[in-house]
Amino acid sequence: MKFDNRVQKLENNELQQQLNYGSSNNTCKIMEEQENQNPIKLSFIEKEKEGGLDDFNNEGLFVPPLNFAMVDNGIFRSGFPNSTNFSFLKTLGLRSIIYLCPEPYPEANMEFLKANGIKLFQFGIEGCKEPFVNIPEEKIREALRVLIDARNHPLLIHCKRGKHRTGCLVGCLRKLQRWCLTAVFDEYQCFAAAKARVSDQRFMELFDVSTFKHAPLSFSVSKRQT
């Protein structure tokens, strides 16, 4: 991450607070900057309309999945990746993927995982809409145990759109990292936008992290180890 001169001039204690609780604002800023890259975005849309995404990929340009972002060193999040995104995902050197949907993983995606030695962890959570949202706490706990195990890094978390299920898991991770709830909700809303759910935020607020004995404040694994 790059910080501007004002951040560099902060005292050490202020900088630490900024890192612990202000990361959601940085994430939103990065997303806004990505959205403002009109030439690339328009070029991709034009290719998609023409049915030429394969040619777009062959031009040496990497296309990230929907709602892609870095969560922490060695941890990424996104919506459901497709074949257009495979070249980009290869650059991450992924070791694992946490998949939060109940549907079977597509054959093309499974072949990509096998070809690149990537392990799939599936925790099927139904994508219901309010007021019928039921987030299975035990599955989130199981996914979180996989997520905080550095042996699984680099790792990608994804559901369908990278908003609600992925947002809940990342929010629980942030509680482990001792983020304040305001920052946790800000990051969640940055990805969910107008479709943010009160039920998701209530789940994150009530999620008990005390059962995790080794709560990581940060991660140091940023590259795949062999």
**pLDDT one-digit tens code per residue, 74-87:** 999 999 999 999 99
- From the list 28, 101, 128, 159, the catalytic residue is 159
C-alpha 77/C-alpha 10 separation (Å) is: 29
Indicate the average pLDDT of the chain.
77
> In terms of residues, how long is the chain?
226
Q: Which of 26, 147, 16, 134 is nearest to 77 (CA)?
A: 147
C-alpha 37/C-alpha 53 separation (Å) is: 18
Given this model, what pLDDT does residue 167 score?
94
The residue type found at 203 is F
pTM for this entry: 0.70
The stretches of 36-130 forming alpha helices (DSSP H) are 38-50, 53-58, 86-90, 107-115
Given this model, what pLDDT does residue 37 score?
42
Helix, strand, or coil here: 22?
coil
Q: What is the mean pLDDT of residues 17-22?
A: 45
Q: How many helices (H) and strands (E) does the chain have?
A: 11, 5
Neighbours of 40 (CB within 10 A): 11
Kindly report which listed range (98-102, 105-109, 146-150, 222-226) carries the lowest average pLDDT score: 222-226
pLDDT: which is higher, 6 or 63:
63
pLDDT of 131 above 70: no
pLDDT: which is higher, 54 or 74:
74
Query: Quick check: 35 and 45 in contact, CB under 8 A?
Result: no
190 is a catalytic site residue: no
Q: Which of 194, 215, 197 is nearest to 205 (CA)?
A: 197
pLDDT: which is higher, 2 or 177:
177
Query: Quick check: 135 and 113 in contact, CB under 8 A?
Result: no
DSSP code of residue 73: T
Query: Quick check: 155 and 94 in contact, CB under 8 A?
Result: yes
Rg of the chain over CA atoms, in angstroms? 18
C-alpha 115/C-alpha 111 separation (Å) is: 6
